[in-house]
Amino acid sequence: MMPLILRPLSVEVWAECDDNQYLDAIAPYGFGGPYVSGKVDLREFWRQFKSWAMQNNIVSAFFRLSPFAADIHGMVDAVEVSGGNVIRSLAEGGEEIWRDYKQLVRTHVKKAEQNGVTAVFDETGDSLPAFIRLYYRTMQRCHAAQQYYFSMDFFRRIITRLAGQYFLAHAMYRGEVIVSYLMLVSQESIYYYLAGSNENYFNLRPNQFLTHRVFQWGMERQKKWCVLGGGYEGFDGVFQYKKSFAPSGVVPFLVGKHIFYSSEYESLCEKRKRHELQNGLSLITNDTFFPAYRTKND
């Protein structure tokens, strides 16, 4: 299984052609596959996938690889490290996990408990409005790109279509939700997905406390891992914060890149540069960004 989003290039003004039949493919936000179960001839799968892609005029594909995805080295043009993923193993049990935290995490968890912060877990979605309120507040505070302002309908679909595969975790203080996480759940893992917080209560240290309690939730349900993910920009402050919960649990975040039609790829790069120049803009070239004819805001 390998989920992909197909993006028609005909809708892009800079592509200069309304009847452009080409597309490109990208893994959905978060982690992608391929996910393999049982005995699979992965090379044959890739041979057929590339054939399908070219038959459907797909210029390029970008893969965000899950830590549990199959190895695709040697099957695509490039597999590169794009930061780190922090995975908190839950198999050791509560005492071992507690000792593995950085000292500052333990200090903050204790402070939150002393301050009267508690945790509430919601597996029904009834408290979704509280999460959404804090999530949007956090996006505004962080000046997040528009793509991170997910619609209300997006969140409702998670609640209605993924029953049993998500939960909401809330840090509470005097009856108010001050931090909220939307967690995803698989058979063996839980995933830190989206979060929101009220900055007026940061001094109570509710984030460290709630993350600690999420691990306990997972252990009580015999989950093996909690995938915390990485930072926004490689090994940044967000990454270092997550690493403090699992100093030895860092694995590389891998991305895959492949070009199916080289000539069309180069043509699109030139068209994008020309469009930016004609509109008084400057396309900031980044050797690591793929595909090169798009930007982070596309």
pLDDT of residue 279: 82
CATH (domain of 108):
3.40.630.30
Which of the two residues, 247 and 275, has the higher pLDDT score? 247
Average pLDDT on 180-191 reads: 97
Average pLDDT on 35-40 reads: 91
Give the separation between CA 98 and CA 94, rounded to whole angstroms: 6
Do 59 and 132 have their domain in common?
A: no
Q: Is 224 helix (H, G, I), strand (E, B) or coil?
A: coil
Average pLDDT on 239-260 reads: 95
Give the predicted TM-score (pTM) of the model: 0.88
Do 80 and 102 have their domain in common?
A: no
pLDDT digits (tens, 9 = 90+) for 62-82: 999 999 999 999 999 999 998
Query: Is residue 229 in a domain?
Result: no
Give the separation between CA 217 and CA 220, rounded to whole angstroms: 5
Please, what is the average pLDDT of the chain? 93
Q: Total domain count for the chain?
A: 2
> What values do phi and psi take at 12, rounded to 5?
-90, 120
pLDDT of residue 287: 66
Give the separation between CA 57 and CA 122, rounded to whole angstroms: 44
Query: Is residue 199 in a domain?
Result: yes
2-11, 226-235, 250-259, 279-288: lowest mean pLDDT where? 279-288
Query: Is residue 246 in a domain?
Result: no
Do 206 and 134 have their domain in common?
A: yes
Do 100 and 76 have their domain in common?
A: no
pLDDT of residue 231: 82
Do 38 and 128 have their domain in common?
A: no
Do 41 and 127 have their domain in common?
A: no
Q: Is 285 helix (H, G, I), strand (E, B) or coil?
A: coil
Q: Where does the chain show beta strands of DSSP type E?
A: 5-8, 23-26, 58-64, 78-89, 118-122, 166-173, 176-185, 189-197, 225-229, 250-259
Give the separation between CA 226 and CA 233, rounded to whole angstroms: 21
Which of the two residues, 15 and 112, has the higher pLDDT score? 112
Do 160 and 269 have their domain in common?
A: no
Answer for the pair 3, 22: CB distance below 8 angstroms, yes or no: no
pLDDT of residue 18: 63
Do 101 and 212 have their domain in common?
A: yes
Answer for the pair 72, 199: CB distance below 8 angstroms, yes or no: no
Query: Is residue 240 in a domain?
Result: no
Give the separation between CA 148 and CA 132, rounded to whole angstroms: 12
pLDDT digits (tens, 9 = 90+) for 254-295: 999 999 999 999 999 999 989 888 887 766 555 678 999 998
pLDDT of residue 271: 92
pLDDT of residue 289: 86
Query: Is residue 238 in a domain?
Result: no
Q: Please, which pLDDT band fits residue 15 given cuts at 50, 70 and 90?
A: confident
Do 271 and 172 have their domain in common?
A: no
Do 103 and 170 have their domain in common?
A: yes
Query: Is residue 297 in a domain?
Result: no
pLDDT digits (tens, 9 = 90+) for 105-149: 999 999 999 999 999 999 999 999 999 999 999 999 999 988 889
Query: Is residue 284 in a domain?
Result: no
Sign of the CA dihedral running 154, 156, 161, 166 = positive
Do 99 and 190 have their domain in common?
A: yes
Query: Is residue 236 in a domain?
Result: no
Do 115 and 204 have their domain in common?
A: yes
Residue 267 lies in domain:
5-84+253-278
Residues 6+ apart with CB under 8 A from 172: 117, 118, 119, 120, 178
Chain mean position to CA 103: 27
